[in-house]
Amino acid sequence: MTGPGVVRRVAGRVRTQARERVRSAYYAVGRDLPGSDRVEARVRRWEAGRGDVPKPKEAWNEQYAAGGWDYLSGIGELSHYSVIVGYAQHLRPGGSVLDVGCGSGVLHDRLRAVGYAHYTGVDISDEAVAALRRHDWADAEFVVADADGFEPGRSYDVVVLNESLTYFPDPEATFRRCLAIAEDGIVIVSCHEQSARARGILRGLVARHDVLDETVVRQGPSSWRCVVFRG
């Protein structure tokens, strides 16, 4: 005999799974989804107040000025950065790299150690980019821009969206722009698995685009899913 507590738990899991499927479908096809206006309203209500959602430039500047993202350079974030660098160097050794949402330049530091032909870091935060521009690195440039409106004027061997895709209003559209920039190259997307929004976005991308390889990285209490897409 099944008790009411078990029934409630099962029903709760079913509802959670159904919501994740709806979010995945929305993130994958956006406004092309039947009834998308209603779905969008529900998704936006669910996203409200969460940390990995679009935020204004001023908020990013405040966080970088206060050192809110300094922990990314620590050992606790080492594993998924190492996987990204490994993919880039194995699949496009010494190639050109576009880092979308470069932040304080942690990925650049890792890539610089193994070499690249050219590196471009793009971030919306003036604070983050200003700190990076104080260095004089050959073959590296740092641009303050909303990546959705950034026009690089060239293609790249590797485009990286490391923990940044969730912060765009239309992740699918942003990802498609990156695919076009990485013509004949690769796009590497890394997402924090503890984020339901990130899981939904990445699940939609994997279902709709050409995946070359992927790795799930676990370090301490955290885990990341790193997926390589063909450009």
Are the C-beta atoms of 162 and 141 separated by less than 8 Å? no
Report the DSSP beta bridge partners of residue 227: 189, 214
pLDDT digits (tens, 9 = 90+) for 164-220: 999 998 899 999 999 999 989 999 999 999 888 898 899 889 999 999 999 999 999
Are the C-beta atoms of 180 and 212 separated by less than 8 Å? no
Report the DSSP beta bridge partners of residue 224: 192, 217
pLDDT over threshold 90, residue 28: no
DSSP 137: -
pLDDT digits (tens, 9 = 90+) for 81-107: 999 999 999 999 999 999 999 999 999
Torsions phi, psi for 57 (to 5 deg): -55, -40
Residue positions counted in the chain = 231
Selection from 4-8, 46-50, 136-140 with the highest mean pLDDT? 136-140
